[in-house]
């Protein structure tokens, strides 16, 4: 059975494992994301959620409560296309909306399944970063 729950510090090794396993939006320098980064989004300025399938973490989302952004949304490639990403994103957005966010932002690679996923959910491209990442936003009022 699948469920969404808040992530704990004990989940961080699995979150990192999933982040490094993705086929798109791979990190050019995996060392750039540290345990301290994950800790900050689990028990610091942000919150994180995990999707569990029969007790196994299969995906996670992390939101930044200070900047009203989605820091991460990743699903283990073996568990894609089962609705985990949509449920994780919903949990993160609900938390940000409850904190008063009116606009939530994120970035992703161009011409990726992630870009299609976000656009289908109503996200709009606002700019392109110097590194070529798409900057997207979603307004609470649609």
Residue whose token pair is 């540290």: 34
**Domain region containing 77:** 2-139
Structure confidence at residue 17 as a pLDDT band (50, 70, 90) = confident
d(CA 58, CA 77): 9
What pTM was estimated for this model as a whole? 0.89
d(CA 20, CA 125): 25
d(CA 91, CA 100): 15
Taking residues 23-41, report their average pLDDT: 70
Number of structural domains (the chain) is 1
With contact defined as beta carbons under 8 Å apart, do 24 and 69 qualify?
no
Tell me the CATH number at 134: 3.40.630.30
Q: Is the pLDDT of residue 32 over 60?
A: yes
pLDDT in tens, 102-128: 999 999 989 998 999 999 999 999 999
pLDDT in tens, 126-139: 999 998 899 999 99
Q: Is the pLDDT of residue 85 over 70?
A: yes
pLDDT cut 70: percent of the chain above it: 92
With contact defined as beta carbons under 8 Å apart, do 51 and 60 qualify?
yes
In angstroms, how far is CA 127 from the centroid of its own chain?
A: 19
| Average confidence score pLDDT of the chain | 89
């Amino acid at each position: 059975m699948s469920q969404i729950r808040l992530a704990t510090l004990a989940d961080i090794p699995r979150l990192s494992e999933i982040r490094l396993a993705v086929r798109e939006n791979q990190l050019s320098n995996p060392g750039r994301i540290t345990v301290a980064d994950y800790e900050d989004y689990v028990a610091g300025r942000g919150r994180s959620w995990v999707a569990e399938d029969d007790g196994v973490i299969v995906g996670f989302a992390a939101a930044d409560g200070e900047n009203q952004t989605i820091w991460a949304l990743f699903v283990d490639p073996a568990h894609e296309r089962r609705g985990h990403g949509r449920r994780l994103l919903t949990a993160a957005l609900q938390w940000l909306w409850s904190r008063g966010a009116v606009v939530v932002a994120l970035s992703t690679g161009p011409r990726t399944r992630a870009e299609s996923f976000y656009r289908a959910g109503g996200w709009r491209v606002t700019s392109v970063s110097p590194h070529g990442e798409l900057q997207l936003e979603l307004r609470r009022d649609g």
